[in-house]
Amino acid sequence: MPEPLTPDVVAKVADLAMLELSDDELQTFTAQLAAVLEHAHDVEELDVDDVAPTHHPYPLQNVMRTDDPHPAVDAEVAAAALAMAPSVEDGQFRVPPALGEEP
């Protein structure tokens, strides 16, 4: 197992997950996540090198629908989806500038 969890590592993980943490949250989450990972250490005692991983519990492979033409999303559904968007312009989702300055 990798080395123990530190606040620096948790800060890096939060950054990857696009979450911002206060200093207090960073301390609390570090302790809580470390406790869960500590408990998960018990799987270390198992020798599973020769065991195949299970990605999915029911044996299904290559699920394909039949290649029949069918209507794309209709205008009503598209309008309903756009109506739920935080910001829309000309029938498209609107976001702040991709390359704008950090606040």
Amino acid at 13: V
Provide the minimum distance between the beta carbon of 87 and another protein in the complex, in angstroms, as a whole number.
7
69 binds another protein (CB under 8 A): no
CA neighbours within 13 Å on the CB side: how many for 65? 4
**Alpha helices by DSSP H, 17-63:** 23-40
Secondary structure (3-state) at 84: coil
Q: Which residues contact 6 (CB under 8 A, 6 or more apart)?
A: 30
Which of positions 9-68 make contact with another protein (CB under 8 A)?
Answer: 9-10, 13-14, 16-21, 25, 29, 32-33, 35-37, 39-43, 46, 48, 51-58, 60, 63, 65
Among residues 69, 71, 91, 100, which is the contact residue for another protein, using CB under 8 A? 100
Cα–Cα distance, 102 to 98 (Å, whole number): 10
- In the complex, which residues of this chain contact another protein (CB under 8 A)? 1-2, 5, 9-10, 13-14, 16-21, 25, 29, 32-33, 35-37, 39-43, 46, 48, 51-58, 60, 63, 65, 77, 80-81, 84-87, 93, 95-103
